[in-house]
Structure 1
Amino acid sequence: MSDTDIPEASGRAPSIRDVARLAGVSYQTVSRVINNSPQLRPETAEKVRSAIAELKFVPNQAARALATSRSRLIGVLGPRMTTHGTSAMVQAIESAARTAGYRLTLTNLATSAPDDVRASIDHLMQQSVEGLIAVAPQTRVVPILEELKLPVPVQTVSSTGTSTSHNDQTAGARAAVRHLIELGHTRILHIAGPRDWVEAEHRMRGYLAEMDAHDLSPRPPVLGDWTAHFGFEAGLELLRTEDATAVFAGNDHMALGFMHAVRAIGRSVPEDISVVGFDDVPESAHLWPPLTTVRQDFAGIGTRAVTDLLSALGVSVDEDPAAQPGHLRLIVRSSTAPPRA
């Protein structure tokens, strides 16, 4: 290849024919390497990959889609409200898809109203996605997906797991409440998440079930919005009207806000009131006091969603056992202690 043939010298991006000339093969062979065809000798494939690396050649995704009748595009339907968990799951989905040679196209729901859900799904389907992953913690999204009978595989994913795996949020909530009961608490409040979120419903069930299992009277759960601001405002009200010695918050951010409210009225955690959260966000270990919480594997859930979707598409993926969603685990820190005598 002469200097005049080098793409950089002519001010243009390298093409598939440039790769073919450098590797000494046909451009059809280069195309087969790009599309991972098994019908090639390993040494030929390696020559082509070396030429691709040397020229910094980037395959044209649109051209590949036309040639293979596959877009290698996954649609992701995002939630209308982003939490730490949903954000971590989407990041893991993007990483796992990229590793498998797929790209994402993402749209977030404006609301969880049926018309908005259908419009968002239609927007994704118009982009010729091969499959759809719905990060759908809102309860009303799943029935709409089932009703539409989409012509592509669909995976729903939330903190409770994926379409084909399960993360027992109820058991995680029961472990949190049981921890408080075993410390000696009997007057335990629950600040729950929004009414239409699957996770909030399961965690509330866990609170009620564990209180009932110990013949304790649950207080009516307070429905929140996952934010620290709500936890703070609810805390100021609850601490004024309730005589509880412990609080189980539906997520760590509401727990953080509640702990702020405790300090704001001149009381302390855990001396005056114990607090447990849920999710184990990265900041939880660095609050003061460090927060007792329930840890879950958001990245594992997102990775599992991609693996299951690609399996439904007939795409073989090497599964890393370490990447499978782990069980929920109670992480005991300094925000919980026995109640004062």
Structure 2
Amino acid sequence: MAGEPDSGKKRSTIWEVARVAGVSHQTVSRYLRNEGGLRPATREKIDKAVAELDYRPNLIARSMRTRRSNRIAIVLPELTNFVPIPVLRGASAAARAAGYTTDVVGLEGDEKRRAEGTLSLLDSQQIEGVLSFTPLSDRVIEAAGRRPIVVYGEYDDRMHSRGNLADGKPAGMIVRHLADLGHRRFLHVAGADDWASAVNRRQVYELTIAELGLESYGVVEGDWSMASGYEAARDLPANSGVTAVLAANDYVAMGVIRGFQDRGVRVPQDVSVFGWDNEEFTRYFLPSISTVDSDRETIGRQAMTRLIALIRDEPQPAIELESLFTLVPRASSGPPPR
């Protein structure tokens, strides 16, 4: 069928990459091992040749030569119906670019069982290192010794986001953005209070309202669901004076908008609504939903880069998260009614 990849296509070799790039195969080998000393122009030529030939290192052959598995385990607290796909995608892409394959492992049970499972992975000698997105005790780190392990505890035991993913700063960004448009009275429909992200968003919302001298009609205790957003909009008194609603996530925002629409309240002409997470449906809902984009792939990519540096005994790269969150204003928000 036209457009499908040719499954019988011969794998490109390091010699072909060297020929297309105009360099020696030894130089390509250094490039693939991510060794320093290559000129930027040389690295760029090899980059282009690798992309043109769709070259992928033969990891099986390499592991036979070096007696290394070139495999990394990515550890989650357990494999539930929620899996942080963007984080895993970023981590896997970084590993693949460096010549490693990844195995995603869900470690169930309490902290002790997770510790035992992590150490068993390292003891198996089938993996080169562990990247954990769930907290591990200091005992695990100490027992691991010099074996590569990076703990990037972005999720707790119930897969609730924490750490950088739970950062509440965008709540302040949203309030400031809406205040700049002229809004003065706000409502926040919160997420479940057993999530660090919900608590952080509420705290930053309240602090920013106070700092800017704005008014908060209140905080509605929600549970991340469309229903909680719908009920908040349905029950908001007509004389509340609220012109802007900050929803805990995009599903809550969708519920808020629908609740207002069923009451004949126009969005954004009468009330502006802002969500969070930049879910795909936000672009196609009517009106399209203003939201916050979280670059979770960067979280995964930078965490994996740290682990690979540890495996290779290289200096740890700096972690840059300044641009992790971006406001995405759309049709559900605008100036307040005059």
Task: Please indicate the TM-score interval, normalised by the length of the shorter structure.
Answer: 0.5 to 0.7
Identity within the alignment, %? 25
Q: Which residue of 2 aligns with 1:333?
A: 330
Q: Which residue of 1 aligns with 2:221?
A: 222
Aligned equivalents of 1:303, 1:212: Cα separation in 2: 36
Q: In structure 2, give the amino acid aligned to 1:107.
A: V
The question of whether the paired residues in 2 share the 8 Å contact of 1:76 and 1:133 is answered with yes
1:133-170 Cα shifts (integer Å, max 9, x gaps): 233xxxxx43x3434224432141649xxxxx968933
Going from structure 1 to structure 2, the CA distance change for 1:283 and 1:37 (only over 3 Å counts) comes to closer
The question of whether the paired residues in 2 share the 8 Å contact of 1:232 and 1:261 is answered with no
Aligned equivalents of 1:224, 1:119: Cα separation in 2: 34
Residue 298 (structure 1) aligned with residue 290 (structure 2): no
Deviation, structure 1 residue 308? 1.6
Residue 148 (structure 1) aligned with residue 140 (structure 2): yes
TM-score (norm 2): 0.65
Q: Which residue of 2 aligns with 1:187?
A: 185
Aligned equivalents of 1:83, 1:254: Cα separation in 2: 18
Q: Which residue of 1 aligns with 2:15?
A: none
Deviation, structure 1 residue 192? 3.2
Aligned alpha-carbon RMSD (Å):
4.5
The question of whether the paired residues in 1 share the 8 Å contact of 2:290 and 2:333 is answered with yes
Where do 5+ consecutive residues of structure 2 fail to align?
1-7, 9-28, 36-52, 156-162
Aligned equivalents of 1:57, 1:215: Cα separation in 2: 57
Q: In structure 2, give the amino acid aligned to 1:259.
A: I
The question of whether the paired residues in 2 share the 8 Å contact of 1:93 and 1:302 is answered with yes
Q: Which residue of 1 aligns with 2:226?
A: 231
The question of whether the paired residues in 1 share the 8 Å contact of 2:175 and 2:209 is answered with yes
Secondary structure of 1:326's aligned partner? coil
Comparing 191-200 with 300-309, greater Cα deviation is found at 191-200
The question of whether the paired residues in 1 share the 8 Å contact of 2:232 and 2:256 is answered with no
Residue 100 (structure 1) aligned with residue 98 (structure 2): yes
Going from structure 1 to structure 2, the CA distance change for 1:264 and 1:120 (only over 3 Å counts) comes to farther
Aligned equivalents of 1:329, 1:67: Cα separation in 2: 45
The question of whether the paired residues in 2 share the 8 Å contact of 1:187 and 1:246 is answered with yes
The question of whether the paired residues in 1 share the 8 Å contact of 2:298 and 2:324 is answered with no
Q: Which residue of 1 aligns with 2:26?
A: none
Q: Which residue of 1 aligns with 2:46?
A: none
Going from structure 1 to structure 2, the CA distance change for 1:308 and 1:60 (only over 3 Å counts) comes to closer
Deviation, structure 1 residue 207? 1.0
Secondary structure of 1:189's aligned partner? strand
Deviation, structure 1 residue 324? 7.9
Aligned equivalents of 1:117, 1:235: Cα separation in 2: 39
The question of whether the paired residues in 2 share the 8 Å contact of 1:169 and 1:202 is answered with yes
Of 54, 71, 83, the residue aligned with 2:69 is: 71
Q: Which residue of 1 aligns with 2:173?
A: 175
Q: In structure 2, give the amino acid aligned to 1:231.
A: M
Structure with larger Rg: 1
Residue 240 (structure 1) aligned with residue 235 (structure 2): yes
Deviation, structure 1 residue 287? 2.0
Aligned equivalents of 2:122, 2:192: Cα separation in 1: 29
Aligned equivalents of 1:200, 1:271: Cα separation in 2: 28
Q: In structure 2, give the amino acid aligned to 1:222.
A: E
Q: In structure 1, give the amino acid aligned to 2:270.
A: D
1:200-240 Cα shifts (integer Å, max 9, x gaps): 34323321221121234542352424xxxx13334224531
Aligned equivalents of 1:185, 1:69: Cα separation in 2: 63
Secondary structure of 1:267's aligned partner? coil
Aligned equivalents of 2:247, 2:188: Cα separation in 1: 6
Deviation, structure 1 residue 306? 1.5
Aligned equivalents of 1:183, 1:110: Cα separation in 2: 48
Q: In structure 1, give the amino acid aligned to 2:138.
A: E
